[in-house]
Structure formats: C-alpha cells, structure tokens
Amino acid sequence: MSIFIDEGTRVCVQGITGRDGAFHTKGMLEYGTRVVAGVTPGKGGASVEGVPVFDSMKEAVERTGANASITFVPARFATAAILEAAEAGVGLVVAVSEGVPTLDAARIYHRLVELGTRMIGPNCPGIISPGRSKLGIMPGWIHSRGSIGVVSRSGTLTYEVVDQLRREGLGQSSVVGIGGDPIIGTSFIDTLRAFQDDDQTEAVVLIGEIGGTDEEEAAAFVRNVMTKPVVGFIAGRTAPPGKRMGHAGAIIAGGKGTAEEKIAALSAAGIPVAERPSDIPSLVASALGRAE
C-alpha cells in the first residue's frame, strides 16, 4: 500500500504546456505515473508528451476519468486552478505552485474541506510512492522502495534525507512534501495518520522547520495515537527571529515557532531528534530495532 496515491491514480497536469509543466510531465511519465490529461485554457486539442490537453478541468475529468491533479500554473493563477480542479471533482490536488497569497490559501483550504478534496501544498515538491507513482518534481532516482514514510515541509532537504536513507538501505513507502507556506492543505498530522494506517510503513521520518506550531501538534499526535516509531529533524536552529527564511511559513513571529520549542516538544513525546541529517538513518535503524 501507499498513502494518498497509488499505481491507479489518474493524473491531470494543470499548466501542462508551460515550461515547468511540460518538463515535469515528462519526468512523471518516465517514472510510471499515469498522466492521463493536461489542462491549459485555450490550448485544448494540443498534446504534450502524448498526453491530451483540454481547456478545462471539467472536460479533462469527464473525458479521461482523472482523479487527481498537479498544478504548475504561475502563482497568480494558482488559486483559480486549484479551485477549478476541486470543483471538477478530483479527490487530490498537489499544488506545486509557489507564491499563493495566504488569504487565498485560507479560502482554498475551507472550500476544499466542503468539497472533500485533499490538497498537498501549496509550495511543495509533491508526493512520491517509490516504484509506483509520483505526483511531483522530486528526482525519482534518489528514492527506493521500502518501509520508511517521510513527511517534510522542505524540498531539497527531503531529497538529502531520502538520499541518505537509500544509501543506508532504508527504502521508503511514501515521501510527502507538505509545503513551506503558512497555510497548507495537508498537515503533519494528516500524513502521520495515513502512515499509521498504512501496512507498508514501519517507521516515519518527520522533517520540520521553524514557524507555526504544526510540529508541536504532530508531537502530541505521535504520543497519543501512533504506535509506529517516528524520528524527527528540525531545520532553523540558527534562524534569527522575525526574518522569513525562504519559505513564507518559516518565520519566528512574536517569539513563537522556534526550533528549540519544536525539538523540546518532539523529545517530550519520545521522538528522537537528529542533530544532523546524516544522523537520521542510524536513528531510524535503531528505532526499527535493527542494531547497526
């Protein structure tokens, strides 16, 4: 099993004719993802990498049975694109687009709850189930199939960790980049719950960073609900307060959201927290009871 996506997921790429959309469509197809449709308003009838392009999500869903979308549209059109996908009835929207205004993200979040659509992101690398399918921009070749679930607010930091897990022979069940924005569709807790229920997943790596309280809430969830071991890492121990560190959501505001608070919360919940990414594989191995 895998979480949120599997081999059967039928994907529509929003913004498929753009530079990024076309590039990553190729990457997803090569990885084996079933990309069945693309949407770019005004480009209906075209095709990209052999994938038919439609003018609207509604048409794409009706004609191809797409049940998930991934958005590569520029930020200023992303809100409309995400809402259009959800209104067309797909169950999952992976919003790669960076730069969605925060109040738009709030409106999208609440509308998608009403429609019953899950959003991953925005401002995220997407999700991959190694060997099965990927809806995202991550390089497929660094991943390997296995039993470790990974959930992260970052992109390249996740690649770094996944690469090290693979080198140590620790394959992954699913790797989810939930996004670096202050308001995101799928939280740490949503993903941890899915990993807890997933037969393939035996342990989880949680990669957090400064800003907000999602890690603290995740720590409480792990303590109260999860039976599978979790290993943590928090980026931003040296980040100064009041400065946005690249991600819109990575900011210590009013003294809140520091790495220290998050590390303390995770530790208090019995979650070992790695000091360096390179320490993660050995912590995972010992959490699994496999002595090195």
Partner 1 sequence: MKIHEYQARGILRKHGLPVPDFEVVSDPEAARVAAERFGGRVAVKAQVHVGGRGKAGGVKLASGPDEAADAARAILGMTIKGLPVRQVLVESAVDIADEFYVGIVVDRATKRPVVMVSDAGGVDIEEVARETPERIHKEGVDPLKGLSDGQAAALASRVESRPEIAARIAECIRGLYEAFSESDASLAEINPLVVTTSGDVRAIDAKILVDDNALFRHPEIAAMRDPSSETEQAKLAREIGLSYVKLDGSVGCIVNGAGLAMTTMDLIKMRGGEPANFLDIGGSSAPEKVVTALQIITSDPNVRSILVNIFGGITRCDDVARGLVMALESSPVDIPVVVRLTGTNEEEARSILAEHAFTTAESMDEAVGKAVALVGRRP
Angle in degrees, CA 175, 204, 3, rounded to 5: 45
| Beta carbon nearer to partner 1, 53 or 183 | 183
Nearer of residues 66 and 280 to partner 1, judged by Cβ? 280
271 SS3 class: coil
Options 24, 110, 143, 247, the catalytic residue: 247
Please, are residues 57 and 12 in contact by the beta-carbon 8 Å criterion? yes
CA of residue 258 relative to chain centroid, distance: 22
CB of 227 to partner 1, least distance (A): 25
Nearer to partner 1 by Cβ, of 46 and 115: the residue is 115
Alpha helices in 94-237, H assignment, sequence order: 102-115, 156-167, 188-197, 214-224
Nearest to residue 46, comparing CAs of 72, 17, 74?
17
- In this structure, are strands 47-48 and 51-54 parallel, antiparallel, or unpaired? antiparallel
- In whole angstroms, how close is the CB of 245 to partner 1 at the nearest point? 5
Report residue 34: phi and psi, to 5°: -85, 85
The two tokens of residue 230 are: 């979790």
| Minimum CB distance to partner 1, residue 10 (Å) | 24
**Cβ closer to partner 1: 106 or 225?**
106
Name the strand (E) or helix (H) holding 31.
helix 19-31
247 is catalytic: yes
Sites of contact with partner 1 (CB under 8 A): 75-76, 99-107, 109-111, 125, 137-139, 142, 152-160, 163, 180, 182-183, 207, 209-210, 212-214, 217, 235-240, 243-250, 254-255, 259, 275-278
Please give the Cα distance from 56 to 85 (Å, whole number). Answer: 9
Residue 110 CB, nearest approach to partner 1 (Å): 5
The residues annotated with a catalytic role in the active site are 247
